[in-house]
């Protein structure tokens, strides 16, 4: 049996990050807490959801959660994830181990102020989010114990994703590339 979620954290309103049917598949119950920025769901879609902005902090069953901005500033990508949408990246703190999920973003100034990050999950692909080189630069500045590329296998195709992984690993001593997940995301880690 696969575990289901008591808490769902969403970065932004794009369908590949915020899909009502997918959320329903991973919810443990109607009491599952869903936390997301504006534009993700309508009132009445879920019983227990909160709309938040960058700078939000809270605790859920002893796990610290907080948000930081996530956006594109580069001209060629600015329309995909505009700063004014208030979309977010998440920092999840489990017993002092802080995981930074950047959301869909460019290498932004706010990343320079992150400290004490155990693992940084950074989107790459170049069209909608950072290029591999930009993600490598971001990873070096964030200086997490582990730097994990994400959100690129579907965008870059098999050959492109293999080259991206190789470049990421070659340029970062702290690189950790995840195995591609074939099952629904909620099975990850169980």
In the chain, how long is the greatest CA-to-CA distance? 48
Give yes or no for a contact between 21 and 38, defined as CB atoms under 8 angstroms apart.
no
pLDDT at 139: 96
Instruction: Identify the residue whose tokens are 């959801």.
Output: 49
**DSSP per position, 59-86:** EETTEEEEEEE----STTTTTTS-GGG-
Domain residue extents for the chain: 7-179
Quick one: average pLDDT of 6-29? 93
Answer whether residue 98 shows pLDDT above 80. Answer: yes
pLDDT in tens, 130-160: 999 999 999 999 999 999 998 776 666 666 7
- CA–CA separation, 121 and 89 (whole Å): 10
Higher pLDDT, 185 or 160: 160
pTM of the predicted protein model: 0.88
The beta strand positions in 10-48, using DSSP E, are 33-37
- CA–CA separation, 28 and 110 (whole Å): 33
pLDDT at 182: 43
Quick one: average pLDDT of 85-110? 97
Quick one: average pLDDT of 162-189? 68
- CA–CA separation, 164 and 112 (whole Å): 23
Instruction: Identify the residue whose tokens are 């948000």.
Output: 67
Quick one: average pLDDT of 2-19? 92
pLDDT at 161: 78
- CA–CA separation, 151 and 112 (whole Å): 21
pLDDT at 151: 79
Give the CA radius of gyration of the chain.
Answer: 16
Cβ atoms within 10 Å of 88's Cβ, excluding its own: 29
Supply 181's token pair.
């997940």
pLDDT tier at 187 (50, 70, 90 boundaries)?
very low
What class, spelled out in words, does domain 7-179 have in CATH?
Answer: alpha beta
pLDDT in tens, 50-93: 999 999 999 999 999 999 999 999 999 999 999 999 999 999 99
| Average pLDDT of the chain, as a whole number | 88
- Measure Cα distances from 134 to 7, 25, 90, 107, 130 in Å: 31, 34, 19, 6, 5
């Amino acid at each position: 049996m696969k575990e289901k979620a008591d808490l769902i954290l969403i970065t932004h309103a794009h369908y590949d990050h915020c899909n009502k049917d997918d959320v329903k598949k991973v919810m443990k119950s109607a009491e599952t807490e869903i936390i997301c920025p504006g534009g993700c769901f309508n009132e009445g879609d879920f019983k227990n959801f909160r709309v938040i902005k960058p700078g939000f902090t809270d605790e859920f069953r002893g796990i610290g959660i907080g948000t930081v901005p996530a956006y594109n500033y580069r001209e060629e990508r600015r329309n995909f994830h505009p700063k004014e949408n208030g979309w977010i990246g998440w920092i999840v703190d489990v017993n002092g181990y802080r995981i930074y999920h950047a959301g869909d973003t460019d290498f932004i100034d706010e990343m320079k102020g992150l400290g004490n990050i155990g693992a940084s999950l950074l989107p790459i692909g170049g069209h909608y989010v950072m290029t591999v080189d930009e993600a490598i630069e971001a990873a070096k500045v964030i200086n997490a114990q582990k730097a994990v590329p994400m959100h690129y296998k579907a965008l870059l195709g098999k050959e492109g994703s293999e080259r991206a992984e190789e470049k990421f690993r070659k340029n970062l001593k702290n690189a950790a590339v995840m195995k591609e997940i074939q099952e629904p995301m909620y099975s990850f880690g169980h």
